[in-house]
Structure 1
Amino acid sequence: MRWTTAFLFFGAVATVLSTEEVSDESEPLLHVLARPSTFNAGERRAIFCQGRNLPHAINWYSPSGNIVGERSSTNNRVYVERKVDNSMVMVPLIIHEVKVEDSGSWTCKAGEYNETIDIVVGIKVKFHNRQTTMEGDEGKNAKLTCEAKGYPLPVIQWYKDGKLLTDKTSPSKYAMKKKGDIYVLEVRALTYEDIGEYLCKVTQKVLSYYTDKTIILSVKHAPVLVGTYKTVEEYAAFNATKNITCSAIANPLPSYQWYRRRKNFDTEIPEEDTIFTAEDGTSSTLMLRMDKEEAFGEYKCKVSNSKGSETVIFDVSLGERPTSPDGVNLIAANSTHLTFNVSCAACPIQQSDDTSPDPKNLTVIGFDFELTEVRDDYPPDWDKKYPFEMLIEESEDLVFAVGPLPNSTVFHARVRTRNLAGESDWLEVQPDPATTSRAVTLSLCLAIIVAAFIATTY
């Protein structure tokens, strides 16, 4: 019989669990070999009750007070079996496919002797699909649902991009509701800021159980300009090329139109070779050739999709390119980075978030570094360069760690100054800098560790 093996297994468990020693084996004994337990619905369980020297037969009683009978053709889910082991009588209560209705107090009784065990049967919440997507419209509400059917009732928590949401987080933005087993997070008046990952976290503490469901929300919304204002001041040097970029996020993907504005009259600029729009729709760049005075002035970028449009005006004025750096010194090198100190006495360095309004003395916003590997008997091949744009973060610190770069390599290097009008001429770095080998770096690290160990030992 299928349960014979299970019976022997649980009998062995019962023997191990039975730790009570009775000094007088002639005394009556009745004991349930289990503690109050929590079971998962659908499991198979056997709970042993042992007795010795009892004047009456051992019986199990259900939470409703009914005696549990032995297995039969009509009683094959909840029943008892009996076994005598020497002087000890073992009576397991066997439950096939435990149900929530089986929760309660089960009593093992023999005459005036009895012992009760409390059982809690739970149903774990299961998600057929733990990740879903949905899309909402700007200005409307979105209802994110989490069907969490389980027992005992689960505790539900909502998160957005890892941040816990509560009723107090933003009552005007979020509302949490429950309809039966369905938990709803309503996100009101959708904007692009509501785009993200929402997590429905389910906890059933009694069952020591946790699961979750992720809902990825996208929002159809009008274009939103990125990193710019409605009007932007730009500077360009004469006889130079000036690129101005219009960036936006939008769903559906936006289209870009560029206009030349004169006296508040707009003339659309044809794409030809002057407009470059990113395939993902996040930006569009207008390339201007500043070879005549008429090229300076206002340019308008219009970003549109089916949800709306935004515009930004770029006011391009004549400005002077910065002067080249006075000098560049290599102050450190390792296997992946070269660290340079740049000096530029004539450079107006940024002192705050504002840049200089003087077109002839524009604030320096950073330095461009280019490095290319040295090849014996060949001039520098700047088409195979490692380019780095370094921004100035502190006005008194013009030290820049440039990399990552290949190790054990000698480079031609050059640097130039950058402001809003353009870039200076290049200044070549002398002598040619070189990265170290990884072996040297590791050896140095080991030497430092050994020295530190010796110092602490002695």
Structure 2
Amino acid sequence: MPWPAITLFIAAACSVACEEVVNDGEPYLHVMARPSVFNVGERRAIFCQGRNLKDEINWYSPSGVVVKERSSLNSRMYVERKVEEGGVLVPLIFHELKIADSGKWTCKSGEYNETIEIIVGSKVKIVNRTENKIGEEGKSIKMDCEAKGHPMPVVQWYRNQRPINAEKSKNKYVIKKKGDLYTLEIKDLSYEDIGDYICKVTQKALSHYLDKTITLSVKHAPILRTYETVETYAIFNETKNITCSAFAFPPPIYEWLRTKESYDYSIPEDDIIFTDKDGTYSVLSLRVRSEEDLGQYKCKVSNNKGSKTVIFDVSLGNKPPPPDSVVLLKANGSALVFNVTCSECILQKEEEGVSPAPENLTVIGFQFQLTPASEGYPEPDWDAALEIFSLDVTEDSSYAVGPLPNTTTFHARVRSLNIAGYSDWTAIKPNPSTTAHAVRTLATAFLLVLTLFATWYY
């Protein structure tokens, strides 16, 4: 830095740091700064002011060495002297602070002295703050977090936002430190270890915080989302969708089998089988035409880590009775609320669960279907219907259907549901309509604004 620039640098710093001192003739020496924390590479000037002193003012390093004035061999750290009215100003100048500069620095003149402690820190930097790792079921995996900095950072590992206590989980987690490398080891991996692991790095003295997130996936055998044996009920001449669901990594492959005379026959994957692309589930659409279609079906779920099989025992169940009548209780701009009566239905009670008797299965809910009514077309177009709304049995027999478009008249129908299938549809008459509530509310608010404006204006 050129000498004029240095002078301006000192003057600017002094304009902030210097204190006005009344010159009463008494010897005076003062370091015009407090203990401070700086970052590596910063430029700093620490001022020492004195007056009425017999001896020269000098700065001493933490090791007790006198800091010299600037020279060609001494340009990074040096002192300057500036005589002011009523005293002397001696700044200790660092052109590029280093960690080695940390310590207690003393300004001294004869028997007068004052010390300031400075800490020079290096903030931790993490190059790759996100990382993906894949482990193997039953094996171990190590995750690294490099945290190089000064003062030494505090590092804490978290799993799904909760701190990992390696001392309490010695058989599962091991945390080691080697130099600046902090390693988390997870033993005996399973699908339960899947998730985000976060290395949180804190340097309190530097008010610095940083973290690294490692997303862990584990290759594991399929885990079923259902029991391994499932009692399933169907209705003659109705389609019964049987769903087999599991999660695994790599994604599983599904195979459907039909058991006859103690032998398993593979079911071709044609129109009656639908498997989700990501392997989450597979559906067998079974059409029960006779007792020959009843019996045992198997779903085999497998990947290169293992396999699981679900057995579906398909029995004949009763078709639920349809609702007797449906009454519209109320309507608003986005929903319709109906009261459903089904005199022949045995409704499921939450405390009792589903009836296991195939000939007397309880009704577990109702399904509503609506399609907009078009003027001049009295017959409903069910192919253009909205989604089917499935609602569980309620204690008060009222069912809110929505969200729906406002100011719309619908053809509507409802059917009862048990675990075997559905009843016939019951038409809802007269055609229900949503209101223009939302529109009216907006219009009312607009008129209110106009009224207030007119009152103010006139």
Task: Report the TM-score when normalising by structure 2.
Answer: 0.90
Alpha-carbon separation, structure 2, partners of 1:205 and 1:29? 35
> What is the identity, as a one-letter code, of the residue corresponding to 1:318?
L
Distance 1:100 1:122 in 2: 6
Whole-Å separation in 2 of the counterparts to 1:82 and 1:435: 86
Distance 1:67 1:406 in 2: 84
Which shifted more, 311-320 or 330-339?
330-339
State the match for 1:452 in structure 2. Answer: none
**Alignment length, in residue pairs?**
444
Q: How does 1:167-182 map to 2 (within 5 A)?
A: 167-168=166-167, 170-182=169-181
State yes or no: 1:8 paired with 2:8: yes
SS at match of 1:8: helix
**Counterpart of 1:234 in 2: which secondary structure?**
strand
Q: Per-residue displacement from partner, 1:19-44 (whole Å, max 9, x unpaired)?
A: 5x545543222221211111122222
User: Counterpart of 2:321?
Assistant: 323
Amino acid at match of 1:125: V
Cα distance in 2 for partners of 1:244, 1:51 equals 91
Q: Structure 1 pair 178/30, CA: closer, same or farther in 2 (3 Å)? A: same
Partner of 2:380: 380
Q: Which runs of 5+ in 2 are unaligned?
A: 448-458
- The within-5 A match list for 1:270-289 is 270-289=268-287
Runs of 4+ in 1 over 6 A off after TM superposition: 443-447
| 2:194 aligned partner | 195
C-alpha deviation, 1:283, in angstroms: 1.1
Give 1:395 deviation, angstroms.
4.8
**What's 1:166 paired with?**
165
**What residue identity is the alignment partner of 2:48?**
C
Contact 2:363 2:418 in 1 (8 A): yes
The correspondence for 1:309, drawn from 307, 310, 317, is 307
Query: Unpaired segments of 5 or more residues in structure 1?
Result: 448-458
State the Cα RMSD in Å: 2.4
1:230 aligned partner: 228
1:335 deviation in Å?
3.6
Match of 1:342 in 2: 340
Equivalent residue, structure 1, for 2:451: none
Q: Deviations over 1:300-329 (max 9, x none)?
A: 000111111000000111011212223334
Secondary structure of 1:423's match?
coil
SS in 2 for 1:386: coil
Deviation at 1:332, TM superposition (A): 4.2
Offset, 1:340:
3.4
Please name the residue that 1:257 is paired with: 255
Spell out, residue by residue over 1:337-377, the C-alpha distance to the aligned partner (whole angstroms, 9 max, x if none): 33334333433223237310111221222222222223222
Label 1:353 to 1:133 Cα distance change in 2 as closer, same or farther (>3 A). farther
Task: Assess if the C-alpha contact under 8 Å between 2:334 and 2:434 holds in 1.
Answer: no
Distance in structure 2 (CA, Å) of the matches to 1:26 and 1:286: 101
* 1:246 counterpart residue number: 244
2:362 aligned residue: 363
TM-score, normalised to structure 1's length? 0.90
Q: Confirm or deny: 8 A CA contact 2:404 2:434 kept in the other structure.
A: no
State how far apart, in whole Å, the 1-side matches of 2:10 and 2:142 are.
49
Q: Partner of 1:428: helix, strand, or coil?
A: strand
Matched-pair contact (CA < 8 Å) for 2:23–2:86: no
Report deviation, 1:253. Answer: 1.7
Note the C-alpha offset of 1:98.
1.5
The answer for the alignment partner of 1:453 in structure 2 is: none
CA contact (8 A) 2:368 2:389 kept: yes
Give CA deviations for 1:90-113 in whole Å, capped at 9, x if unaligned. 222111221111110011112222
Partner of 2:288: 290
Residues 129, 211 of structure 2: 8 Å contact kept: yes
Is the contact between residue 330 and residue 433 of structure 1 (CA under 8 Å) also seen in structure 2?
no
Distance 1:198 1:7, change over 3 A: farther
Cα 1:40–1:408 shift into 2, 3 Å: farther
Query: Structure 1 vs Structure 2: percent identity of aligned residues?
Result: 58
Instruction: Tell me how far apart the structure 1 counterparts of residues 115 and 351 of structure 2 sit (CA, whole Å).
Output: 76
Question: For residue 368 of structure 2, what is the amino acid of its counterpart?
Answer: F
Deviations 1:424-449 (Å, cap 9, x if unpaired)?
122233341314343434578999xx
Q: Mapping of 1:433-452 within 5 angstroms?
A: 433-441=433-441
Question: What residue in structure 2 maps to residue 454 of structure 1?
Answer: none
Note the C-alpha offset of 1:264: 2.8
